[in-house]
Structure 1
Amino acid sequence: MVTATRAPADPGTPTEPTTGRPAVRLLRALPVPLALITMIALAGVALGRVYADPLLTRLILGSAIGSVLISVAARRLPSWLVAPVSVAGLAGWTLFSLRLAASHAALPGSLAEVTADAARNAIPRLLTAMIPVEPAPDTVLLPLVAAWLTGLAAAEVALRTGRVLLGYLPPVLLYAGAVYVVGPNADPAIAPTVAFAAVAAAGLAMPSHRDGPASADPAAGLAPTVRAAVRLRLLAASAAGVAVVVALAALLAPLMAAQVDDRPVDPRRYVEPPQVESLDENPLIRISGWALNPDQKLLEVRTEAGPATPARIRLAVLSDYDGVTWRVGATYRNAGRILPVTDPAPGVTTDTVRQQITVADLTGRLLPAVPTPREVTGARVAYDPATGTLIRPEGLTPGLRYTVTSAREHLDGNLLATANVPAGEPVARVLRVPDGAPEQLRRLATQLAEQNGAPYARATAIQDFLAEHYRVTADAPSGHAYPNLTFFLFGPRNGGGQRGTSEQFAAAFAVLGRLAGLPTRVVVGFAPNGDGPVRAANASAWPEVLFEGVGWVPFDPMPRPDQEPRPVEQDFRPPPDDPPPSQVPEPTLEPTPTAPADAAAGPRADQHGPGTPVLVGGGSGALLLLLGLTLLTLATLRRNLTRARLERGDPGRRIAGAWRELTDALRLAGHKVGDVLAAAEVAEQARRTLADARTARPGQPAAGAVDGGPDELAGLLNQVAFAPHTTTAGQADRAAELATRYATALRATRPWWRRLLWSIHPGPLRWRR
């Protein structure tokens, strides 16, 4: 009986060896998975060059091992089950990694809160984080997820379909992305790149578990004339491939060589760093409001370590002056728990101060700390290394408690008398005097500078002049524009002039200092009396001057409490044609706080390049493009496989290929054909499967000619098995028609999403082996 014949394997497909020692099979199965794991891990090494410690590299290595090993272990499962299993593993590894990173960075909050925050802010914080980046949940989430998905995609393509070179594409893209994110912020990744290329080449060169005796010569077993033609085509294809590679190398090598000395593009310049609110851009004008409410509790301070003498707490540093307002003008970068350390200038000693600070009524984003902070726990911060100031991007809230460890500097006063001040472009920002400076201010600065030649003597003269001639009053109007400072310095005493808060004293010192050639800035902060509440009465502003070899030196132009100021006219008399101002300038109004969402809504006007939405959209578009290319590749491979089975070869091969199309259709419908079934039994199973599917879905066409197709195709298959030389081209065409009709009819009974998946399912590419 011919019906006892078993279905033959796919014609022309090498048979996988069933014998051999387990050690040999294991050795042949290892090279490609090990190469994929190593390549993904090397991408982590390349990205880890901008991280503060190797935690990120270890997490990416775990993602590489987990994703590839799950794909290896699940090779016997249907391909559509591998992705859910791998994603479940990704979820577990991600939660473990985020918990480890949160503990490493000492971040407060539950795992759910940390995970939600990291998912919302992973991309912008990664691209705005200060370098070296601390491995925190928001800075490790995106790399480890990308590494896991890379391992999943690479393993499925390289191991299931056997296309190792195509499987290398995801790790190559991941490595290129890591190098791009690093940009110019680290040394060239020469060693990882060479190792990456070497591992990729080794993975291609090593024999795989699919290599067998039949694969040694693809033309083995063919007739001599056919074998010669096949070998000639293989030789021509190989020569064409080599020619394409050589041509590409000759074309691209000069272009790539020309880029060796170029500075890489830094993607961080396209992303808006955290910004302060309008309330914090000029906190100097808040001094007058605090002076009118001296009992308002702003902070609670407890010193945990450090000297017994109270430490001055700094809130903001204002370096930019436009003739109207002093502004912060800092560039804040998201930072981890440990902040960058800069060596103090020669002659400057430091001691460690650790304070626990609890926020009360202080609002805004600026985070108070003793200068210079080195470690912050209990709050996520952004840091400006140029000024040593902190912000909390989410804004301050009552009850916020954090701990700051700072390196408080102590200056050697003996160095100041002979210290010079820097000049030139590096300090042009803190030397700039805006246009429109009143002549009286220029004349006063010139008079003080002429009488004192050394920079420190000039700064001391300005300090003493302000302390000796002006008085402090809490109800002085706010303002530090040129008209306000002119009235403060030269206005009549009986008309409200020559009095002010620390706002006017600090701003007047800074402007007079710049007019006298001193690099100056204004600092806003608090001078607590010790541990306990820090109230509005403790708020103050003071000027600082930059000296070479020493750094920024604070000055105190405030008058002594027991000293009666003498009139300005005794030391400085304006010319008769330049009388002192008599009209009180308009006070500067304190801006209303900007909502956190509005403050970070758009980029600054002076920044160029796409912002975060563009980057996110571009990244999403790239992912969609990659997904589309993957689906297109699978559809093309499936279509080429069907054409090869139904249209190429002698009639016997085409009939066997048609039978394989029928059995693949059954398997795609969820009915795997048993290996021990005869052809007639498979045909019966095919007819029953189609009938049941039509019954389960009303509206399908009634039984027709297609229902007898499996039996007729089984008869042709048996003819191939027992009388291979009697089959004709017409019978092969009939077999192709029957297989196509059956697959189309069975596909039409599937749900819509299964019909979409039918043409791109990678299963037939693997089952044919």
Structure 2
Amino acid sequence: MVRWVRALVVGAALAGMITLAGVVLGRIYADPLLVRLVAGAAIGSVGLSVGMRRLPNWTVAPLSATVLGAYTIVGLKLAAGQADVTGPLSQIARDSLVNGIPRLLTAMIPVQPAPDTVVVPVIAAWLAGLAAAEVAVRARRVLLGLLPVVALYAGALYVVGPNASAAGWTTPAFAGLAIVALATSARPAHAEVPEVSAKLRGRAMAGAAAGLVAVIALGAAVGPWVGGQVSASPVDPRRYVQPPQVDSLDESPLNRISGWALSPEQRLFEVSPTGAKSRTVRLRLAVLPDYDGITWRVGATYRNAGRVLPQLPRLPDATTADVRQEIVIDGLTGRLLPVVPTPTEITGARIAFDAATGTLIRPEQLSTGLRYSVVSEVQTPDVNLLPAADVPSGNAVARFLAVGPGVPERIQRLADQLADGNGAAFDRATAIEEFLAEHYRKVADAPSGHAYPNLDFFLFGPRAQGGQVGTSEQFAASFALLARLTGLPSRVVVGFDAPAGGGAVTAGNAIAWPEVLFNDLGWVAFDPMPKSKNPRPVEEDFTPKPTKPPTPPSEPPTSADTSSSSAPPAALAAATDGGPGAAVIAGGASGSVVLLLAGLALALVVMRRGLSRRRLTVGTPDERIGGAWAELRDALRLSGRPLPAHLAATEAAAYAKEPSAVRIRRAAPASEAAPLPPLDELVAGINTVGFAPGAADDAQADRAGSQAVAYATALRARRSWWRRVWWSLHPGPLRWRRPL
């Protein structure tokens, strides 16, 4: 009777410890189904071994494996029903067993309990219970029997990684159950023999003392390392597993725009009504953030997800609305699923989700008749904040500013021209949008392509030869490229304009559009599509027209000439009359305007020089070096190519020396084409200010200021005469903000 009680207590402790491993793992799952299945596996495996402890041990493993198979089938059926996974049960079981581990490690958090995400934990829990019960109950080696359970618990902690809060109560409970199992299995002490008891007690005390010393030494050696690991972030095993990837068809859906434009009546899918007040609602198919000068690519990290998707952070001052829509696929191919951004729940299809872009992909190819329902949360930022909004900088957005090498010179010059005089980020984006909308036409039969040669021909090719026309592919790609060249983080999006009242979405509804990232406003879409059927040729606004040299003034008349008979009679009469004529009055008014403009120009020049003098001579060395850096930034901005805020000092110096940043005017003297002055002292000063504040001295500040002035002077000298005049009179430096 006592042995049965001990076996039951040890078995209950083992089942409880395995269940706790399921509780730990269940923290990253969307609902408690996994915990229930693991608890059932723990009770079934341990209970079967305890109940068969009187039978030969060779009969337990085959019977337990048979029961495991039946229990696994039941668990897979429950998970498939809850996850809406359809198909033959044999196919579901085979797919889950083959792909269970990679899909578990690539699943989106929270993990949807599906056949392929529960099968591995259930089988592992059953096997751990079987091994632990056989060793701890049948062989009565409880300490050794705890090893499989401890390994299961450690594996659960490893799989969870940093994706859930710390396991507060589960670990003490796990340790407590282990102590109960060990205490229950302790055997009673034998009766002492008087003649040997003293020796045994002495040996026991010596062994206990040695063990205590060893434990203390081990604690002193390992304790600091263990303490450091408590506060360290655990390793996420998902970093070692390759998530699902897109194929060539979905890598750049932008290439499909031209093909869809040629077959505008082709039915792609059906949508249900959304209840929106507008005539159309825009669905997103793919987001393309990466450009190498040849192709805009998806570049997303898709992870297997369940019905519930993680919500994106809320934008401040944005209005939100839930949109529910049912979509039925007709002729759309590929694996990408069109949805209203950003989806938060999906039913009817197994998907993988990219949290950065809010786009969905299916593991299998789309098929006619596929039906799925989506709940999306639409966030609408306050557009009134756009004119004053800035764009983010730094490594976080470097991906959205990168372009491939070899940007065509004409495209770079166009970007410089559009940025010239548009200091605010929204102003630059609007200038690009309006330029494309006013000078180019949309045609359905334009050839596909958005590499540098394609965009160069689209922007500047002769109209008679097919230039300056394109589909939304070229409009969106050109906007995004020009935006990046002017310092705006941008990307291209491919999607569809679907009827808000529901109905068929055809290939003619496919569209690409650009988006720009603003602080606190998120990604904002722009529309560079043409607004007129007769746009102006690009040559009217981009190619500079030659300026007519001013006519030299005529010789002023001498006093003898005033009495000449060639003078008009009216002029002579006015002169003899002594009263002011019309010419005199007009000349006086014009002179007043000229004097006013001259005074304003003089005031601007004085204020600009005073600003430069204060920057470079007033304040601590750190402040003067910061002023020199501001002089460099203003010079580049005045030249039409603002310095991107995300560049480090060394990168900024290299950027300032690029040929595209220092355009030389036509017919410039050879001296003006010489290399620009170096900026090494300025870069060293900025690095000193940034990494060792207060370490700079007056001499270093003087050298940084001298280089900034020399660079600005040389850069100004490369401009045409009227641009040099405007350089000195531009009021922008008096109001521009200049972050270091």
Task: Tell me, yes or no, whether TM beats 0.5.
Answer: yes
Q: Secondary structure at the match of 1:260?
A: helix
Match of 1:539 in 2: 510
Cα distance between partner residues in 2 of 1:159 and 1:287: 68
Which of 417, 420, 439 is the matching residue for 2:390?
A: 420
Q: CA deviation at 1:40?
A: 1.0
- From 554, 569, 591, the equivalent of 2:525 is 554
Cross-structure match for 1:216 = 189
Secondary structure of the residue aligned to 2:376 is: strand
Matching residue within 54, 71, 74 for 1:76: 54
Residues 517-532 of structure 1 correspond to what in structure 2 (within 5 A)? 517-529=487-499, 531-532=502-503
> Partners of 1:294 and 1:453 in 2: how far apart?
40
Q: 2:435 matched to 1:465?
A: yes
Which one is further off, 424-433 or 187-196?
187-196
Residue 251 (structure 1) shift = 4.7
Paired residue for 2:124?
Answer: 146
Mapped partners of 2:471, 2:254: distance in 1: 10
Secondary structure of 2:423's aligned partner: coil
Structure 1 residue 123 displacement after superposition: 0.4
How far apart are residue 250 of structure 1 and its match?
5.0
What amino acid maps onto 1:372 in structure 2? T
Deviation at 1:242, TM superposition (A): 6.1
Alpha-carbon distance in structure 2 between the residues aligned to 1:335 and 1:363:
21
1:229 CA displacement: 7.8
Match of 1:59 in 2: 37
Q: What is the TM-score normalised by the length of structure 1? A: 0.67
Range with greater deviation from structure 2 (333-342 or 28-37): 28-37
Task: Give the SS at the match of 1:511.
Answer: helix
Query: What amino acid maps onto 2:467 in structure 1?
Result: G
Out of 358, 361, 368, the position equivalent to 1:398 is: 368
* Residue correspondence of structure 1 range 25-36 to structure 2 within 5 A: 27-36=5-14
Q: CA deviation at 1:477?
A: 1.4
- Give the aligned partner of residue 272 of structure 1: 242
Task: Map 1:647-658 to 2 at 5 A.
Answer: none
Distance 1:347 1:261 in 2: 36
Pairwise mapping of residues 194-593 of structure 1 onto structure 2 (< 5 A)? 194-206=172-184, 211=187, 215-217=188-190, 248-303=218-273, 309-529=279-499, 531-560=502-531, 563-573=533-543
- AA aligned to 1:131 is I
TM-score relative to the length of structure 2:
0.69
Tell whether the 8 Å contact from 2:22 to 2:156 is kept in structure 1 after alignment: yes
Superposed displacement of residue 120, structure 1: 2.0
Partner of 2:136: 158
The 2-side partners of 1:143 and 1:574 are apart by 70
Q: Distance in 2 between matches of 1:258 and 1:419?
A: 42
The one-letter code matched in structure 2 to 1:551 is: G
2:315–2:379 Cα contact (<8 Å) kept:
no
Contact 1:477 1:500 (C-alpha < 8 Å) held by counterparts: yes
Range that drifts further, 323-332 or 224-233 = 224-233
1:596-632 per-position Cα deviation (integer Å, ceiling 9, x unaligned): xxxxxxxxxxxxxxxxxxxxxxxxxxxxxxxxxxxxx
Structure 2 residue aligned with 1:119: 97
Aligned residues: 545
Identify unmatched segments of 5+ residues in structure 1.
1-21, 577-769
Distance 1:470 1:185 in 2: 49
Larger CA deviation: 184-193 vs 328-337: 184-193
1:130 aligns with 2:103: no
Q: SS in structure 2 opposite 1:543? A: strand
Q: How does 1:626-637 map onto structure 2 within 5 Å?
A: none
Contact 2:142 2:185 in 1 (8 A): no
2: distance between equivalents of 1:408 and 1:184? 29
Query: Is the CA contact (8 Å cut-off) linking 1:285 and 1:503 kept in structure 2?
Result: yes
Cα deviation for residue 353 of structure 1 reads: 2.0
Distance 2:275 2:18 in 1: 44
Counterpart-to-counterpart distance in 1, 2:478 and 2:88? 48
* CA distances 1:648-671 after superposition (whole Å, capped 9, x unpaired): xxxxxxxxxxxxxxxxxxxxxxxx
Distance 2:341 2:228 in 1: 45
* Percent of paired sites with the same residue: 62
Give the conservation status (yes or no) of the 8 Å contact 2:8–2:50.
Answer: no
Asked if 2 retains the 8 angstrom alpha-carbon contact of 1:306 and 1:352, the reply is: no
Evaluate the alpha carbon distance shift between residue 307 and residue 200 of structure 1 in structure 2; reply closer, same or farther with a 3 A threshold. Answer: farther
Map Cα deviations across residues 449-507 of structure 1 (whole Å, 9 max, x no partner): 23433322322221121111111112211111122111111111111110011110000
1:341: Cα distance to partner? 0.9
Pairwise CA distance, 1:228: 7.7
Asked if the contact 2:268/2:507 (under 8 Å) is kept, the reply is yes
CA–CA distance in 1 between the matches of 2:6 and 2:97? Answer: 40
Shift of 1:304: 6.6
Q: Do structure 1's residue 95 and structure 2's residue 73 form an aligned pair?
A: yes
1:541 maps to amino acid: A
Task: Classify the secondary structure of the residue corresponding to 1:564.
Answer: coil
Question: What letter is aligned with 1:199?
Answer: L
Alignment root-mean-square deviation, CA: 2.6
Report if aligned partners of 1:158, 1:164 keep a CA contact under 8 Å in 2: yes
Q: CA 1:306–1:173 in 2, change beyond 3 Å: closer, same or farther?
A: farther
Q: Distance in 1 between matches of 2:444 and 2:502?
A: 24
Task: Specify whether residues 432 and 575 from structure 1 end up closer, same or farther in structure 2 by C-alpha distance, changes over 3 A only.
Answer: farther
User: Which residue of the partner structure matches residue 673 of structure 2?
Assistant: none
In structure 2, list runs of 5 or more residues that go unmatched: 547-740
> Any conservation in 2 of the 1:320–1:329 contact (CA below 8 Å)?
yes
Q: Cα offset for 1:196?
A: 1.7
| SS of residue paired to 2:418 | helix
* TM-fit CA distance, 1:427: 1.3
Cα separation, 2, equivalents of 1:295 and 1:309: 19
Aligned-pair distance for 1:53?
A: 3.0
Deviations 1:345-373 (A, max 9, x none): 12322222222222233222211111111
Distance in structure 2 (CA, Å) of the matches to 1:304 and 1:504: 30
Deviation at 1:550, TM superposition (A): 1.5
Contact 1:275 1:393 in 2 (8 A): no
The answer to whether the 8 A contact 2:347-2:373 is kept is yes
The one-letter amino acid of 1:537's match is G
1:311 counterpart SS class: strand
Q: Decide whether aligned partners of structure 1 residues 200 and 276 sit closer, same or farther in structure 2, where only a CA change above 3 A counts.
A: same
- 8 Å CA contact 2:7–2:50 kept in 1: the answer is no
Structure 2 counterpart SS, 1:404: strand
Letter in 2 for 1:76: R
SS at match of 1:30: helix
Contact 2:37 2:122 survives alignment (8 Å): yes
Alpha-carbon distance, 1:305 to partner: 6.4
